Amino acid sequence: MTSPLLTVNGLNSFYGRAHILADVDLQVGAGEVVALMGRNGAGKSTTFRSIMGLVEQRRGALSFGGADISTAEPFEIARLGLGYVPEDRRIFTELTVMENLEVGRQPARAGSPTWTPERLFDLFPNLAEMRDRPGGRMSGGEQQMLTIARTLMGNPRMILLDEPSEGLAPRIVEMMANAIVALKSQGLTVMLCEQNLHFAALVSDRAYVIEKGRIRYQGTMAALQADDEVRRAYLTM
Amino acid sequence: MGFYVTQFMSGLAQAATLFLVASGLSIIFGVTRIVNFAHGSFYMLGAYMAYTVSDVVGGFAGFWGGIVAAALAAGVIGVVMEMVLLRRLYRSPELFQLLATFGVVLVIQDLALTIWGPEDLLGPRAPGLEGRVRILGQAFPQYDVFLIVLGPVVLALLLLLFKWTRWGTLVRAATQDREMTGALGVNERRLFTSVLFVGCALAGLGGALQVPREAVNLQMDVSMVVEAFVVVVVGGMGSLMGAFLAALLIGQLQAFGILIFPQITLVLVFLVMAVVLVVRPYGLLGKPPAAARGAAHAPEAPLRPAGLPAKLFGVAVLAVLLLLPVVAGQYALVVLTETLVLVLFAASLHFMMGPGGMVSFGHAAYFGLGAYAAGLLTKHMDGGMLAGLVTAPVLGGLGALLFGWFCVRLSGVYLAMLTLAFAQIVWSVAFQWTAVTGGDNGILGVWPAPWASAKWVYYYLTLAVVTGAVLMLRRAIFAPFGYAMRAGRDSPLRSEAIGMDVRRLQWLAFTAAGAMAGLAGGLYAYAKGSVFPTFLSVPASVDALVMVLMGGVQTIAGPLVGAAVFHGLETEVVRYTDFWRLILGGIIILLVLAFPKGIAGAADAWFGSGRSAEGRA
């Protein structure tokens, strides 16, 4: 790993008086696909939301592409090239597919792929057939594609993908995995959080394991798959 | 025939103005979730500014240029309000911004008074459109024809703006999910600022266009903001098309109401709104509010029973209140008595707003019903004070029982507007049923029983009743009933799933709040010795709202502190200056900025954090 694109040091987050994340350290290098693994409620989504500046009470040193983002606003972080794909998709249901993509559109960025709706329709052909359909009248899988496509419209250098396989039919999960591999091959850095080890293993180079708001393990994906003890302790039900 | 046609057409012209103002209000609410109480003030400013430009520059350029300049200036003032004030409050408790905009209303009123003076200002006719056209033998102003055309043109432009521009797309996205829009790289702040510009410019435009039609005056703001709210709510929040239809409807009601039902013109609009909301709870073209995401409100912290220090503090306050008559003069006793009554009034509103989650814009209705119970009993039946004080909560409660049945079927701003509609209906009955209520002259001679007629005795009586009532409300909040109320407020679906009848609970809470407000009204009537329709007017409801919001909605001590501070300030400021609105509005704005969680909320955070940290350790 060369100099990391995203560095998180000593991240602590709170909801009200509840301490959710404790001293989380993470690093993601340019071009890597890294999985953040953990059970329901372990702190995966909060980690992503904290990195994006969406958690009001957070402390720690965060930097992205050399810029300090510890106190930056979500929109500033997004404009630095860090895209966020939320777990519950959060499609604008009243807006059409094309309008959803328009909301995500940002200027082209040197050093990261430039996306247009047409290029995204190559990646997610299903969307091409429903350009004018309101987001509220799409299936879960279609919404999942749209939410990723919408974030890519910002021409990010890296995306945070929150549980991309959750609640999707196996065929769609496979399409997602292919899409992530395709994105990686274009030079996009990806961090995804997952409960599904099989899915994560298909796409990821490295993994972190989080439990009760603390990072318990980090290593290559292959090492995690081989480590029965860690898997039993932090991942399987 | 011709007469009816021209009447219809002036209804259409009025509708155009209404639509302009209401569409601005709707856009602002949609994106920022701010109930902009100051919207009418921008309308008024637009009218004054257009008048001045037209007056100074004169002629064709002065008039039409003045309209454009006034609209732009209103937009810029809206931007200033957003950047200086509202921007700091997006993370405050809901409706706190409403309090801030109320402060703006007061400030603008006094500024307008200072700049333009108290007299009505008659503007010029519109150059180029001074004439009249003849329609079926009736003369009809050309300018009104222009307005009739302008309404649909502005509607079309707005629809195009929202559908086909990037700005419009972003605004619609932010209306649905602010947080996600920000996470996609959209600068929400700038978007909000621009939305305030457009919304306030529309209000200013509406006011400026009104100059040739009516005299510019200082009462334009409140009357228009209420009407604009009615239009937005009847049309359906967030629907421009709905606002347009509703504006047409309301415009016609105003044009023909005065011909057909002159006795009830004052309430006709509110009656129609009540009917529309009962039949279509989200307005003509509105949709049920899809829970707007990312509104950035933390879940309400659970209410905690008072700890020992808080109890001791309460006892100390009570002790001071008990000892005060020893040192306080007559005037101070009167002010203190009124303050105590308002404490109960605010506490009753807080009961339904805080734990109940139902915001009322018309709580004065029940306060007024209580006051009129006392007044009518005295006037028509020679009833004594005790009978009056017993009847007051009963009548307030009955009123709330009746209106509440309809109101609890709605939620949020719709519920609030329906309470306002009912309050206006009650007000107009009191105002217009002169034979029984005395109309505007009110009912005089509502004095306490002889044994309680000394100021200090009545003070103690009030103190005892208010303390008892407030403690009862407090007890209810911590009883199973109170827990159920809060559960129903926070997760209505889950509460129903475990077998709670949320609507019935809300109905009960509404009724209890009405009864307590009625009791406060009864006490107030005997304290004042008279009852007037102003007791149940919109400003009285707004006062109650301000007291609760000032104190902090989600703290139990909030309404007590808020009522004391607000009434104290009002009384003192009015005594010392003619610019009491400016000072009071300024103080409200400063308080909001200094304590974005309310005064008692701030104190709670101050003392509470230490306590709960111990609790966790």
Terminal CA-CA length for chain B: 81
pLDDT value of position B614: 30
Query: pLDDT confidence of A67, banded at 50, 70, 90?
Result: very high
| Contact across the interface for B172 and A84, Cβ inside 8 Å | no
Q: Is A63 exposed, middle or buried (0-12, 13-18, 19+ CB in 10 A)?
A: middle
Rounded mean pLDDT of B326-345? 86
A37: which strand partners? A194, A209
| Contact across the interface for B184 and A151, Cβ inside 8 Å | yes
Rounded mean pLDDT of B201-224? 93
Q: Is the pLDDT of residue A13 over 90?
A: yes
Of residues A17, A93, A150, nearest to B184 (C-beta): A150
Name every chain B residue with its beta carbon within 8 A of the beta carbon of A154.
184-185
| Dihedral sign computed on CA atoms, order B507, B512, B513, B518 | positive
Name every chain A residue with its beta carbon within 8 A of the beta carbon of B183.
52, 54, 74-75, 78, 84, 86
**Domain extents for chain B?**
2-219, 333-532
Name every chain A residue with its beta carbon within 8 A of the beta carbon of B172.
92, 94-95, 99
pLDDT value of position B605: 63
Structure tokens at B46: 């637009």
Rounded mean pLDDT of A21-28? 94
Name every chain A residue with its beta carbon within 8 A of the beta carbon of B177.
90, 92
Note the pLDDT tens digit of each residue in B2-51.
Answer: 788 888 999 999 999 999 999 999 999 888 888 888 999 999 999 999 99
Q: Is the pLDDT of residue B129 over 60?
A: yes
| Contact across the interface for A75 and B290, Cβ inside 8 Å | no
- The two beta strands, A4-15 and A57-64, are antiparallel
HSE-up of A97 (CA within 13 Å, CB side)?
24
Name every chain B residue with its beta carbon within 8 A of the beta carbon of A162.
none
- For residue A118, which of A141, A160, A140, A149 has the smallest C-alpha distance? A149
Q: Measured between CB atoms, does B616 come within 8 Å of chain A?
A: yes
Q: Is the pLDDT of residue B611 over 60?
A: no
| Contact across the interface for B173 and A75, Cβ inside 8 Å | no
Query: pLDDT confidence of B610, banded at 50, 70, 90?
Result: very low
Rounded mean pLDDT of B412-438? 83
pLDDT value of position A196: 87
Query: pLDDT confidence of B549, banded at 50, 70, 90?
Result: confident
Q: Measured between CB atoms, does B165 come within 8 Å of chain A?
A: no
B93 phi and psi angles, rounded to 5 deg: -55, 150
Rounded mean pLDDT of A30-40? 93
| Contact across the interface for B185 and A102, Cβ inside 8 Å | no
Of residues B180, B296, B612, nearest to A17 (C-beta): B612
Query: pLDDT confidence of A217, banded at 50, 70, 90?
Result: very high
Name every chain B residue with its beta carbon within 8 A of the beta carbon of A106.
185
| Contact across the interface for A103 and B299, Cβ inside 8 Å | no
Distance CA B118, CA B25 (A): 27
Nearest residue in chain A measured CA to CA from B616 = A17
Distance (Å) of CA A47 to CA A24, B322, B448: 8, 55, 65
Nearest residue in chain B measured CA to CA from A74 = B183
- For residue B203, which of B231, B178, B173, B224 has the smallest C-alpha distance? B224
> Helix or strand or coil: residue A78?
helix
Q: Which amino acid is at B538?
A: V
Range 8-37 of B in CB contact (< 8 A) with A: none
Note the pLDDT tens digit of each residue in B473-506.
Answer: 988 988 998 888 888 888 888 888 898 888 899 9
Q: Which of A90, A97, A131 to mutate to test the interface with B (most CBs of B within 10 A)?
A: A90
Distance from the B20 Cα atom to the nearest Cα atom in chain A, whole angstroms: 24
Kindly provide the ipTM of the predicted complex, given to two decimals.
Answer: 0.94
Please report the DSSP string for B462-527 in residue order: HHHHHHHHHHHHHHHHHSHHHHHHHHHHH-HHHHHHTT--HHHHHHHHHHHHHHHHHHHHHHHHHH
Cβ within 8 Å of residue B199, ≥6 positions away? B24, B25, B27, B28, B36, B39, B78
DSSP assignment letter at B303: P
Q: Measured between CB atoms, does B575 come within 8 Å of chain A?
A: no
Q: Is the pLDDT of residue A117 over 90?
A: yes
Range 273-312 of B in CB contact (< 8 A) with A: 290, 293, 296, 298-299, 301
Note the pLDDT tens digit of each residue in A146-169.
Answer: 999 999 999 999 999 999 888 888
What are chain A's domains?
4-234 (3.40.50.300)
Percent of chain A residues topping a pLDDT of 90: 75
| Contact across the interface for A16 and B180, Cβ inside 8 Å | no
Distance from the B601 Cα atom to the nearest Cα atom in chain A, whole angstroms: 15
Q: Is the pLDDT of residue A225 over 70?
A: yes
pLDDT value of position B299: 52
Rounded mean pLDDT of A138-143? 92
Distance CA B67, CA B241 (A): 24
| Contact across the interface for A92 and B91, Cβ inside 8 Å | no
Identify the H or E element spanning A34.
Answer: strand A33-37
Higher pLDDT, B509 or B565: B509
Distance CA A191, CA A231 (A): 20
pLDDT value of position B613: 32
Q: Is the pLDDT of residue B55 over 50?
A: yes
How many cross-chain Cβ pairs, A to B, lie less than 8 Å apart? 69
Nearest residue in chain B measured CA to CA from A18 = B616
Rounded mean pLDDT of B163-168? 95
| Contact across the interface for B616 and A151, Cβ inside 8 Å | no
Query: pLDDT confidence of B107, banded at 50, 70, 90?
Result: very high
